[in-house]
Structure 1
Amino acid sequence: MILKNVIKPTRKKLFLLVGLFIIAGAFLLASGKNESIQSSKTFADTALVRKHLTALTQTPQFRNHKNIEQLNAVAGYIHQTFNTYGDSTAYQEYKVDGKIYKNVMTSFGTENKKRIIIGAHYDVCGDQQGADDNATGVTALLELARMLKGQKLKYRVDLVSYTLEEPPYFRTENMGSYVHAKYLKDNNIDVYGMASVEMIGYFKDEKGSQSFPVGVLSWVYGDKGDFITLIKKFSGAGPFVKNFISNFKGSEKIKTETFSAPKFVAGIDYSDHLNYWNFDFPALMITDTSFFRNKNYHEPTDTLETLDTKRMTKVIDAIFLSIIHLK
């Protein structure tokens, strides 16, 4: 996820209107009722979560775009884990500046035509572990692979771990998610929807630990960083997004908020889902709100020790239940 300055309209009137506009949408989203969904005997394993987080963060080099050998080693670890559980596992390779970069993909329920994409990027920004950003998202995919094995699914499920989400490639055609989304579009693949798992491991219960792109939103959501957020398009999200959100909240695994706002509001499209939006696929982001909460964002202090793996595991459970109960 890429950090930019929070947008500050130059006129106070515009700022107030935007704030009220978003708050109205937030209240509308919060007013929807979500029925509880049936639980499952399959759960994310906290020990495996920690194992994967350690493997992704405790590496000889940092997994950024400059360290291609390290990126390949991480891609290999993801591929090996995916291959243990998936119906089919593959690399999607492409070239940037003469170097080969790799997305890693595995699929379940391949007998189904219509598919959903659950994605997370495995590269980091600069010289840092990137524990929350985004070892947590990749770990979710690795655990989901184990949990989905043998499940009877209504849709094909593709788990995709992307390369080159971070600067200097963010918002360019070199993003792994751009390459993947374009492939789906070019080949007319029937996609029900996509969910980007972007930073899901940082939680704080202290007052003042949560900030927002528009300050008055704290009136709606409170100022404690104790929830996970599902971010959707402001309009035209589609049935996949609506169904996924309903299932996620209905799982009752973790305190959850939904958020929708125009693209100019900071943070709305700061992850891989933006490329699926750009190719007109329904998509949403699952996030702990990144830099609006986690001040270790894009810093060397984004380490394994800062994560709340217990609550992170609950997020993975909620994603799993959202997938298997999709209508």
Structure 2
Amino acid sequence: MTLAMLLCLLLGEAKAAPLAPAPADTVLLRRHLEFLTTTPQPRNHLHPAVLDSVAAYLTQQFRAAGAHLVGEQPYLVQGRTYRNVLASFGPVDGPRLVIGAHYDVCGEQPGADDNGTGVAALLELARLLGQQQNLPYRIDLVGYTLEEPPFFRTPQMGSYVHAAALKAAGVPIRGMVALEMLGYYDDHRGSQHYPIRPLKFIYGSRGNYVTVAQKFGNGRFGRRFARQYRQAAALPVKRFKAPAWLPGIDFSDHLNYWKFDYSAVLLTDTAFYRNLSYHEPGDTLARLDMRRLGLAVDALMATVLAGRY
């Protein structure tokens, strides 16, 4: 082999490797949250026009990020059309990783943490993925509608519609990650609560961490994702595994992937076990920590690029 051929081979291998990602942009995270929390009416099922405006915003952001496939998954509920928004990065073929966040809210509240932070994280992840030239596998990002009551735990949830469609089409899935409330942190003792009181002696009483939560028997993906995320994170991460019946363990879109035998995890700030403004008008942008939200996205991006699951 000549020196020129060796250099070409080495350069080709370097080109094929994913780029080291830039850190998440907290200014952009805040900008997304400002849009989501200032819609003219609450982004709930009673205001489909507002939900459509959010879906259009997600579509615009996904396209700007450079996704090679961007589209909607519309479906009818009680005579109204609601829609998931989908974007794909990386190779077209092969098993894919699904990462999603719901963009609707419960009732009459701004929903900054629930689930504005999950959506903002999803959009920032899209921007970072778009900067990568050689992703090792396909990554599908999904903005879900109708996660909240009165449709929670029903086939009308956007994530149920998406998971069911994947199963019906026989699409191979590496795993799924639900982004659900990632922006509220409290360093004070006693700020973190648990479904079972003794858990505070294991996980601590300060609400200063992110949790990767999953059910028992969730498969190799959940185990490896949690391990890799914890290794990559610059903020504390608690890995939580429990029976599916434990209150809170399935309180997001990942539960619908479990129903179709896909391995799925929940990435969260623990929601109502920490943020006492959950489903309340006080769930505002002013209460959130942009720096730690950015760190949560950084760890997610590093975990996605590592792909060790």
The amino acid of 1:298's aligned partner reads H
Aligned with residue 39 of structure 2, among 50, 54, 59: 59
* Distance across 2 between alignment mates of 1:305 and 1:174: 32
TM-score (norm 1): 0.87
- 2:154 counterpart of 1:147: no
- CA deviation vs aligned residue, 1:40-68 (integer Å, no higher than 9, x gap): 34211011010001011111111000001
- CA deviation vs aligned residue, 1:94-124 (integer Å, no higher than 9, x gap): 0001100000000001334110100000000
Tell me the equivalent position of 1:224.
206
Does the 8 Å contact 2:233/2:298 carry over to 1?
no
Tell me the equivalent position of 2:274.
293
Aligned with residue 25 of structure 2, among 16, 37, 45: 45
Superposition pairs of residues 173-192 of structure 1, within 5 angstroms: 173-192=155-174
Q: Can you give the 5+ residue segments of structure 1 that lack an aligned partner in the other structure? A: 1-37
TM-score (norm 2): 0.91
Distance 1:254 1:40, change over 3 A: farther
The amino acid of 2:273's aligned partner reads F
Tell me the equivalent position of 2:9.
none
Does the 8 Å contact 1:248/1:318 carry over to 2?
yes
* Distance across 2 between alignment mates of 1:65 and 1:312: 27
Tell me the equivalent position of 2:76.
95
- 2:209 counterpart of 1:215: no
Superposition pairs of residues 1-327 of structure 1, within 5 angstroms: 40-85=20-65, 86-151=67-132, 152-235=134-217, 237-327=218-308
Does the 8 Å contact 2:100/2:141 carry over to 1?
yes
Q: Can you give the 5+ residue segments of structure 2 that lack an aligned partner in the other structure? A: 1-17
Q: What's the offset of the Cα at 1:39?
A: 9.7
Q: What's the offset of the Cα at 1:240?
A: 1.8
Does the 8 Å contact 1:243/1:326 carry over to 2?
no
Higher relative contact order (CA closer than 8 Å, sequence separation 6+): 1
* Distance across 2 between alignment mates of 1:213 and 1:269: 13
RMSD: 1.2
Does the 8 Å contact 1:87/1:110 carry over to 2?
no
SS across alignment from 2:143: strand
**Segment drifting more, 103-112 vs 280-289:** 103-112
- CA deviation vs aligned residue, 1:145-191 (integer Å, no higher than 9, x gap): 10001422222000000000000000000000000000000000010
The amino acid of 1:284's aligned partner reads V
